Structure 1
Amino acid sequence: MAKSVDIIIVGGGVAGCSIAYHLAQLGITDVVLLERKQLTCGTTWHAAGLVTQLRATRNMTELAKYTGELFHGLEAETGQATGFRQNGSLRLATHAARLEELKRGASMARNFGLEAQEVTPGEIKERYPLVEVDDLAGGIWMPNDGQVNPSDVTLAMAKGARQKGVTIRENAPVERILVENGHAVGVVLRGGEELRAAKVVIAGGMWSRDLAGDIGVSLTLHAAEHFYIVTEPIPNLPRDLPVMFLGDECSYYKEDAGKLLLGCFEPEAKPWGHKGISDDFCFDSLPEDFDHFEPILDMAVRRVPALADAGIQLFFNGPESFTPDDRYLLGETPEVRDLFCACGFNSVGILSSGGVGKALAAWIRDGHPPMELADVDVRRMQPFQSNSRYLFDRTKETLGLLFAMHWPYRQFETARNVRQSPVHDRLLSQGAVMTEAAGFERPGFFAADGRSKEFGYSYGPQGWFPDVRAECLNTAENVTLFDQSCFAKYLLQGRDACRVLNHISAAEVDVPPGKVVYTQWLNDRGGIEADVTITRTAPDTYMIVTLGASQTRDFSWLTRSIPEDAHAFATDITAGLPMLGLMGPKSRALLEVVSGADLSDAAFPFGTSREIELGYARVRVSRLTYVGELGWEIYVGADFACHVFDVLTKAGAAFGLGHGGYFAINSLRMEKGYRHWGHDIGEEDTPLQAGLGFAVGWDKPAFRGRDALLRARESKPQARRLIQLRLDVPEDPPLLYHEEPIWRDDTIVGSITSGGYGHRIGASLGMGYVSHPDGVDAVFLKSGTFEVEVACKRYPASVQFKGFYDPTNDRIRG
């Protein structure tokens, strides 16, 4: 056995074997997979084996679609049976809101090229004769879904990897990962054997968190108990029954060799393994808890009466790994280079496995993901989220959320109040109703006196709509104070700081101190890795501001972009520097009163920043806006934040000061067409496609991604462009959220990236990319009839490149 290889994979479940298989498919065969016991013995062997394709986003769906395609031909390729059957799936709704959710999913499926059909209760009965349909509102039929035997399909991928030269070692437990100079360089096995490698992959399922934690890497997953039963054989049970999902009853059904498998994702789960998981755990099950499962079974017997007469052959309870946001962890870790992970699969490991293996294999080979994978990128997580108590509490909720209503703006209820701004209690006293992002508590909206603080979840206007309308209109008419402390802030200092940032940034950042630059950080393909503002505060110092949800990701991108010989030092100062946004036509007058500073256009132009006195504090004020009104961002040390908040609130009474939350910010930015990274722009979108060419320093001699942009600029117009859409529906227009198909003359040409209701203009708005081989320009937009499909119905829309509110920016100039 060689003591050095190209790649080591830790874990022989479905993910690890898929990665090994796909590396081999790429011709990378100097690979060793190390399994502590036997292949599939952790979680894979007892998975239900459901193979569905529709996921929440386009790229997640593409990975799931590929998995189904792989399973379809894997048996013929390897000679190993997989048990794959493409028998379709039914998703059922017992009430109108669930049916709308399913229909919105069907529209999304068509956008992704998947076949999805709305079905009536009668049509459901035809496809699944055993089910009671009298109280059903309807459902969705997806004919290309199916099921597979998890162990067999894993062994097939392992066999395919071996056939091409990959080494798979069972009974080879890894004690620790070797790290040198910030790089993973190998592993140490139990007994002391050392194996070196250029890259290491953690695919160790529920053991992954502890293995990574030993070297300071945060993998945010926790095991939970997952229950299902398998009946005794049921006479005359149809063998071609589709997989059936009933989210309203927390259950799923699968025909299994003449028996029925009934599984559940109950609302309050049982975390497991909090105090550690035994190394001896292998093909084990957990203790039965029939009382916990009984409410699910009672609903199931009413739904499928044949269960009442069927004996239970197997009551199974086994562990699955869950993450704080119900999305798996994939990619290179931010703490250690050349260390990759694929874990935390939230009970979708089988249906994700093929796509995960293919994507990560390409990522390992190329040094970057093969597509935009921000949804599952491990860098989206905050380090504190690997805290065991946090994970224990959150896991009680996340398992059940898989089948709960997927409401827009739905908030987690567990493991809350973790990160708070210094003015948190003051916001609550003003009526703030908090939402959470990356563990940070931030106001969603402010409930007026006497109004409910409940969200009132719906696919239409939710309970907070009147409050947000008031916040938006006050921002347009008076002045609104927003707590934006959750935004991430970094300092880059040193004599080479300018040189480093100019290479990272698309815009020119060699500007005078006090100037703010809006720019993107690009990858070598010209895609947008980060969307930031950069303020030069001194000749050798810059302040960088980015999204709170991107804090870990963007800081990793920054630090890894600093050459070893550069005199430049990055520091994350987020916790110590809260930020308050003061926005609206009266913001200048209010800020002048409390500061005594001259804030006129001549003295303080847009895009500039300086320190001023405010009350007894000294703060940095930048003239910027993300809401389309005259405004300032106020950066204040955490020790003075409450004082500054109090001064602004007291003096603001004379100016009609109100408080605003992030629901209002989303509405306001949608009207202006301001992009949001992770929705409207990402690593597959160039500034040219996103309409951000104005933020590129085309005359700069060199910056990362420049060559790709110059090549792309040769194509005029761009074949793919981000546009703004307004639904032309006078009364009760549907609200847009994401991935709704955009039609032009009976052809789908794109999809919505984000949406919101514009209270200043009174319209349902969206933005999204559209494509046309001959280019997307004004002629293309004007020469076609555009519609947006929502829940299987199409609505007329007006389209343009600029935002629908104040496209000439007069309001910003004040």
Structure 2
Amino acid sequence: MIDVPKTARVVIIGGGISGCSVAYHLAKAGWSDVVLLERKQLTCGTTWHAAGLIGQLRGSLNMTRLAKYSADLYVRLAAETGVETGMRQVGSISVALTAARHEELLRQATLARALDVAVEEISSAQVKAMYPHLNVEDVVGAVHLPLDGQCDPANIAMALAKGARMAGARIIEGVKVTRVRDDGASVTGVEWEAGGEPGFTACDHVVNCGGMWGRDLAAASGVTLPLHAAEHFYLVTEPIAGLGHLPVLRVPDECAYYKSDAGKMMLGAFEPKAKPWGMGGIPEDFCFDSLPEDFDHFQPILEAAMHRMPLFQTAGVHTFFNGPESFTPDDRYYLGPAPELQGYWIAAGYNSVGIVSSGGAGMALAQWMTTGEPPFDLWEVDIRRAQPFQKNRRYLKERVTETLGLLYADHYPYRQVETARGVRRSPLHEALAARGAVFGEVAGWERANWFADQGQERAYRYGWGRQNWFGNQKAEHMAVRQAVGLFDMTSFGKIRVEGRDACAFLQRLCANDVDVAKGRIVYTQMLNARGGIESDLTVTRLSETAFLLVVPGATLQRDLAWLRRHVAEDFAVITDVTAAEAVLCLMGPQARDVLGRVSPNDFGNAAHPFGTAREIEIGMGLARAHRVTYVGELGWELYVSTDQAAHVFEAIMEAAPEVKLCGLHTLDSCRIEKGFRHFGHDITDEDHVLEAGLGFAVKPAKGEFIGRDAVLKKQEAGLARRLVQFRLEDPEPMMFHNEGVVRDGVIVGTVTSGNYGHFLGGSVGLGYVPCAGQTAAEVLASNYEIEIAGRRHKAIASLAPMYDPKAERTRA
């Protein structure tokens, strides 16, 4: 009989590299009673057959911090535990076969420099010198990261497991967790089975590191964990004389990676259309198993490889391997506390980058569990971004056919997913489609991103410059600035908070003062104890005891979880009412005139001042009109019961056919001209509200609220950095995100978000600049440039919004 503890502080479910890393880091953090339960044997699911590529540069600062941590950890693990990890920093090379891919690589090199990752841009001749076996006749350019490497994934997991045991953790194989028990609010323990005998271990925390088994286990507890297994292929040649230790090679234009190991060459693939697996569940006896070969599926990759590296024409095939890995709808893994159940944590869904990710993910999750807060902004991988509908298995099966291949696809700005679309739609969807809408998807919502002209192709043509909808965006943008535009923003998250203590509860969570008169709208943030921004929202007081919170559609689950976590003993009911109302945003200097044609109500400043909401008649229906703006113009957000939304839309368009329909790209280009922040890019839980330039929305004098002490401390100590708005003098270059901010010749940060300012006449971005001990004037006195794909462009910097800095237009 296997000896399993009857009690533990935490039970980690799953003994792959992710579970072993979490156990290692929790034990190192001083947690006693750490227990890891593995259904079969350590590494027997996915870890054992992983390729073991260690690439330190990821798509953002914090993902890179986690990858660099993993690499550093794997280097020192052998000395600590005596288990060899096979970690070799042989470097990596990524080659481009097209100009577009070369642009992407050069932009990644700029990001690497900004994040202090060693990088060099190399020519095809230099690639050939480093990789003599490679055919470089059509290589346009390449990037070399000398500190990247490769490792033995199974041995790293074993080293982490040994390190965890050395620090006091219990790691037990042959124990299958069958269910996580709870009391309706919190985890109470896990039910398990070992050798045919059932058992129970009481605990306060569980961590689901179950990989491709994790979704169904989570679903049994009402927890959303949207992932699905897909087949992943690679082959290994017979030994090749004189091969040596070559850098890891990536040829993303051919969906392929190459790794030399023990005198053999590995060829792996991230093909554009993948094969989902395990739709009916994972077989009970699955352990160190492979899937049936499908050489026809792999053949196009191999044919390209035989041209790219002619040695594949003669080398024998030692192993052709097909193994399952878990993938997620957006190609990013899941980490953090499940919003549905206290004490339930997730570290799963690694999209074939689990080896390089797990070391850092384990460290971050252990700190999160220990302190109650992540070490830095982890919104990219936060489990709270998952939408409940995404655990639908048909949806996941369709989506993962695409997400596997997206790892090596061109990462163009504004690239839209193509599979599993149309799940969530506004009541206006068909009406907008009939008028030329080209839709994008966020959190499952179909949203009009831009409107095609009559006869124009309704599709994206991607690129790193001005894409095919650039002119459409300009027309929409200028209509909002000069006349009037209409946006469908039904995807806004809408949360109703009501009850006897609703006001006191929100006063405790919000940095601004929300104890205002009925009908007032308050722009505010909810902060954490560090003064970081957990939520960016408006709060509208509907009555003495009822409030409406409006949040971005993508953060709705996160915001609901934050509210529910803190409601405690307050008598306040929190309800997601997103689906109850459509939202039509009528914006621009002629907005008042248009509303006057469809409503008998008075929209003058005296009757309806900025920052207020009230019920109006519109067409033959009713709406609640909120006078606020995210584009920096006179305008109203019209909240309309979903059953009346189509009628209200038709009434507006019939009365004012000159109204320009506008998409989300225009909303973004208008807001960035105005310097409005975007949550998840410009402001995160790591960014102090004062350094983000949002001190005007913070009212310490109102009394206690979460983050107040951190605000007062920062006021006294002074700012360490500021969020600055930049505009490029040259109207041609494009800023999107992650370009380098150069101050007096030195890269000091990255562009947090960017878009084209059609009114201002150039690309506009936001980015943080260090400013400890400096005045605002000193910050602005520097010379600024933005580095884009290795080229530097002169930039004008401003701390005040470049467009309408006094907000005169919004209050017109």
TM-score by length of 1: 0.98
Q: Which amino acid aligns with 2:69?
A: Y
Are 1:720 and 1:775, in contact at CA under 8 Å, matched by a contact in 2? no
The equivalent residue for 1:47 is: 50
The equivalent residue for 1:527 is: 532
The equivalent residue for 2:796 is: 798
The equivalent residue for 1:173 is: 176
Are 2:114 and 2:748, in contact at CA under 8 Å, matched by a contact in 1? no
The equivalent residue for 1:688 is: 690
The equivalent residue for 1:756 is: 755
Q: Which amino acid aligns with 1:763?
A: G
Once residues 322 and 761 of structure 1 are traced to their aligned partners in structure 2, the CA distance between those partners, rounded to angstroms, is: 41
- Correspondence 1:618 to 2:619: no
Give the match's secondary structure for 2:794: strand
Q: How many correspondences in the alignment?
A: 806
The equivalences for 1:332-731 within 5 A come to 332-564=337-569, 566-653=570-657, 656-716=658-718, 718-730=719-731
Give the match's secondary structure for 1:85: coil
Are 1:585 and 1:630, in contact at CA under 8 Å, matched by a contact in 2? yes
Are 1:185 and 1:200, in contact at CA under 8 Å, matched by a contact in 2? no
Once residues 225 and 29 of structure 1 are traced to their aligned partners in structure 2, the CA distance between those partners, rounded to angstroms, is: 38
CA deviation map 1:65-113 (0-9, x unaligned): 0000001111011000111100000000001100000000000001110
**Deviation of 1:2 (Å):** 3.4
Identify unmatched segments of 5+ residues in structure 2: none
Are 1:527 and 1:687, in contact at CA under 8 Å, matched by a contact in 2? yes
The equivalent residue for 1:787 is: 785
Are 2:453 and 2:472, in contact at CA under 8 Å, matched by a contact in 1? yes
**Deviation of 1:795 (Å):** 0.9
The equivalent residue for 1:71 is: 74
Q: Which amino acid aligns with 2:15?
A: G
Summarize the Cα distance change of 1:226–1:776 in structure 2 as closer, same or farther, 3 Å threshold.
farther
Give the match's secondary structure for 2:541: strand
- Correspondence 1:183 to 2:186: yes
**Deviation of 1:454 (Å):** 2.1
**Deviation of 1:24 (Å):** 1.6
Once residues 629 and 277 of structure 1 are traced to their aligned partners in structure 2, the CA distance between those partners, rounded to angstroms, is: 54
Once residues 185 and 107 of structure 1 are traced to their aligned partners in structure 2, the CA distance between those partners, rounded to angstroms, is: 48
Once residues 362 and 479 of structure 1 are traced to their aligned partners in structure 2, the CA distance between those partners, rounded to angstroms, is: 49
- Correspondence 1:735 to 2:734: yes
The equivalent residue for 1:275 is: 280
**Deviation of 1:798 (Å):** 0.6
Q: Pick from 154, 158, 166: which aligns with 2:157?
A: 154
CA deviation map 1:684-726 (0-9, x unaligned): 112200110000112111111101110011123x121101001
Once residues 234 and 783 of structure 2 are traced to their aligned partners in structure 1, the CA distance between those partners, rounded to angstroms, is: 50
Give the match's secondary structure for 1:466: helix
Give the match's secondary structure for 1:636: strand
**Deviation of 1:776 (Å):** 5.5
Give the match's secondary structure for 2:379: coil
Are 1:221 and 1:323, in contact at CA under 8 Å, matched by a contact in 2? yes
Of residues 473-482 and 629-638 in structure 1, the stretch that sits farther from structure 2 once superposed is: 473-482
Q: Which amino acid aligns with 1:198?
A: D
**Deviation of 1:279 (Å):** 2.0
**Deviation of 1:616 (Å):** 1.3
Are 1:726 and 1:766, in contact at CA under 8 Å, matched by a contact in 2? yes
Q: What percentage of residue pairs aligned between the two structures are identical?
A: 51
Identify unmatched segments of 5+ residues in structure 1: none
The equivalent residue for 2:234 is: 228
CA deviation map 1:452-476 (0-9, x unaligned): 2221101111000000100011111
Are 1:446 and 1:467, in contact at CA under 8 Å, matched by a contact in 2? yes
Once residues 765 and 78 of structure 2 are traced to their aligned partners in structure 1, the CA distance between those partners, rounded to angstroms, is: 44
Are 1:477 and 1:585, in contact at CA under 8 Å, matched by a contact in 2? yes
Are 1:770 and 1:776, in contact at CA under 8 Å, matched by a contact in 2? no
The equivalent residue for 2:34 is: 31
**Deviation of 1:775 (Å):** 3.2
Give the match's secondary structure for 1:639: coil
Q: Pick from 120, 123, 126: which aligns with 1:123?
A: 126
CA deviation map 1:422-462 (0-9, x unaligned): 01000001100000000100000000112222211011110
Are 1:739 and 1:751, in contact at CA under 8 Å, matched by a contact in 2? yes
CA RMSD of aligned residues (A): 0.9
**Deviation of 1:780 (Å):** 2.1
Structure 1 residue runs of 4+, over 3 Å off?
Answer: none
Of residues 22-31 and 756-765 in structure 1, the stretch that sits farther from structure 2 once superposed is: 22-31
**Deviation of 1:518 (Å):** 0.2
Give the match's secondary structure for 1:743: strand
**Deviation of 1:141 (Å):** 0.2
Once residues 331 and 586 of structure 2 are traced to their aligned partners in structure 1, the CA distance between those partners, rounded to angstroms, is: 35
Are 1:720 and 1:776, in contact at CA under 8 Å, matched by a contact in 2? no
Once residues 21 and 220 of structure 1 are traced to their aligned partners in structure 2, the CA distance between those partners, rounded to angstroms, is: 26
CA deviation map 1:140-186 (0-9, x unaligned): 00000000001011000101111111100000000000111311121
**Deviation of 1:334 (Å):** 0.5
Give the match's secondary structure for 1:270: coil
Once residues 347 and 72 of structure 2 are traced to their aligned partners in structure 1, the CA distance between those partners, rounded to angstroms, is: 20
Once residues 393 and 590 of structure 1 are traced to their aligned partners in structure 2, the CA distance between those partners, rounded to angstroms, is: 43
The equivalences for 1:198-277 within 5 A come to 198-237=204-243, 239-277=244-282
Give the match's secondary structure for 2:160: helix
Once residues 318 and 775 of structure 2 are traced to their aligned partners in structure 1, the CA distance between those partners, rounded to angstroms, is: 60
Once residues 20 and 588 of structure 1 are traced to their aligned partners in structure 2, the CA distance between those partners, rounded to angstroms, is: 60
Once residues 590 and 567 of structure 1 are traced to their aligned partners in structure 2, the CA distance between those partners, rounded to angstroms, is: 42
Once residues 609 and 646 of structure 2 are traced to their aligned partners in structure 1, the CA distance between those partners, rounded to angstroms, is: 27
Once residues 591 and 62 of structure 1 are traced to their aligned partners in structure 2, the CA distance between those partners, rounded to angstroms, is: 50
CA deviation map 1:331-382 (0-9, x unaligned): 0000011100100000000000110110011111111111100000000110
Give the match's secondary structure for 1:80: coil
